[in-house]
Amino acid sequence: MKESGLYINGKWSRGSGRKTFMTLNPATGNPIADVVAGNTKDAQEAIRAAEKALPAWSETPAPQRAEYLFEISRRLKKDKEKLANHLSEEMGKVMKEARGDVQEAIDVFEYMAGEGRRLFGHTTPSELRNKIAYTVRRPVGVVGLITPWNFPMAIPAWKIAPALVCGNTIVFKPSSDTPRTAAELVQCIHDAGVPDGIINMVTGSASDVGKEIVTNKKIRGISFTGSHTTGEWITQHAGIKKVGLELGGKNAIIVMDDADVDLAVDGIIWGGFGTTGQRCTAASRVIVHEKIAKELEEKLVQRASKLRLGDGRKTTTDVGPLINERAVEKSILYSQIGRKEAKLACGGKALDTKGFFFEPTVFTHVKSNARIAHEEIFGPIVSVIRVKSLNEAIRVCNDSQYGLSSSIYTNNIANAMHAIAKIETGITYVNSSTIGAEVHLPFGGVKGTGNGTREAGIEGIHEFSETKTVYIDYSGKLQKAQGIE
C-alpha cells in the first residue's frame, strides 16, 4: 500500500499529528493508500509558507511564471497513461474518462500558460487632457483551494493553473476520497521546478484543515467546488475575502418533438451515467415532449439496461462504481423515494458484490415537483418528465434551486434560441449533452449553483486576480474630474 504525505514549503512530510487515514479503491473496497491526516497546525504551517513565498512569486514576471505551467503541462502529457490508471483506481471512473480528466489538466495548464503573455487589463480615454487611464491585474495573495473527488486532477488544475500564473501562492486541500491523485499532481508541479512555498498541499478533514483554510485571515481568496451546504458555510465563515463557489446542479436535457431521438438518447446516456452520474453537470432530468416520450423512454431504458458495471480499468466496463458506501446508500434512498413518486423503468438496486456499485436507473412518469426531480442525487439515476410544449419544458427546467448546465435537442433554430434566452443556467448546450466543458470557456452557474464566479477561460484569470485602476496625470497641474473647477 502506497503512502501519501503533506506537501509544505517544497517538502513532503508526515505532519505534526502523525495520524493517517486510508483511501479505498471504490471498485473493490480495498485500501490503496495510507494518507497523512493533516490538522490545524499543519494548515497554519502551510499558510505561513505560502505567505513567505508570495512577494518573490508575485514579483516574478508573468511570462516567467507561465514557463512553469508549460513544463507542468508537458510532464502531465508524458505521464498521462500512468496518471489516468491511478486516477481510475482511486476514483473509479472508466479509463476513457480518466484519460479525459488528465487531458483536461494538461489543457488548462497549457491554456493558462498562454495567459502569462496577456493578463489583460484595458485602457480607456480620460475625460481630461494630458491624462492616461487604464487597469492592470494584480494577485489576490495567498489563496485556499478546496476541491472534490469526482474530477481529482481536472478541477484542481482549473484552480491551480490560473492561481499560479496570476502570481498567487496556494494552500490546497483535496478531497479525502482522492488524495493520491492530488499528490501526483503536486509532485508533477514540484518536478517542474516551481519554487518552494508557492504551492502547499494539506490533506485531512474539513473540520480541521478546511476550516482553518476558510477562516484564516492571511488567506485572501477561497475557491471551492463541492456541496451547496458547505458552500453556504463558507459564505458565512470566510470573512471579507474573495470567494468563488461551484456548488452543484440538477441539470436538465429538453427533448423536443422535432429532435433526433437517437441522438438525444446518446446524450442522455452520456450525461446521466457518465462518471456514474457523479458530475455537477450530470443530466439527472430529461424533459421530453409528450409526442415522442414513449419512443424516447423505450430506447433509453433499452440502452441503460445494457450498460456494464465494473472496475473502470477494465475495457469491458461502461459504468464504474460510486465513490464510497455513503454514495451507494444515498442512491438506494432516492431509488426508494422514486418508487413512491414515479415508475421505475430499469435499475434501482445496489449490486451485492465487492465495491460500491449501483445499477443505472431510469424513472419515467415523473412529476415535475417530485423529490427525485429536485434534489441532487449524485448517482446514476435519471428522471423523465413529460411536457406539452417548449414553454412548459423551460418552466420545468427552471424550477430548480440550481442553475449550472442545460441542454436542448431540437432541429428548430427558433426553439434553440428561445431556450438559450430563457433557461436559467450558466451553460446551455444545443443538440449535445449537459457535460463536456472546454478549458478556454468559462464554467459555472447561477442561483444555488454558486455566487457568480466562473472558472476556466478568461474568467479563471478574473477569479484569481484583482483589478487595479491606474491614472497618470502629466499635465503639471491639479486637474479635477467631473468638471469641477
Residues labelled as active-site residues: 246, 280
Cell of 427: 451553460
Backbone angles phi, psi at 30, to 5 degrees: -85, 145
Pairing of strands 2-4, 427-430: unpaired
Pairing of strands 343-346, 361-364: antiparallel
Which amino acid is present at 430?
V
How far CA 423 is from CA of 92, 393, 450, in Å, comes to: 33, 10, 16
CA 358 from centre of chain: 23
How far CA 109 is from CA of 67, 74, 257, 457, in Å, comes to: 10, 9, 42, 11
C-beta separation of 357 from 309 below 8 A: yes
Please count the other Cβ atoms lying within 10 Å of the Cβ belonging to residue 446.
15
C-beta separation of 430 from 416 below 8 A: yes
Residue closest to 240 by CA, chosen among 225, 223, 220: 220
Q: Say which residue the cell 507542468 belongs to.
A: 72
Q: What CA–CA distance (Å, rounded) separates 11 from 369?
A: 52
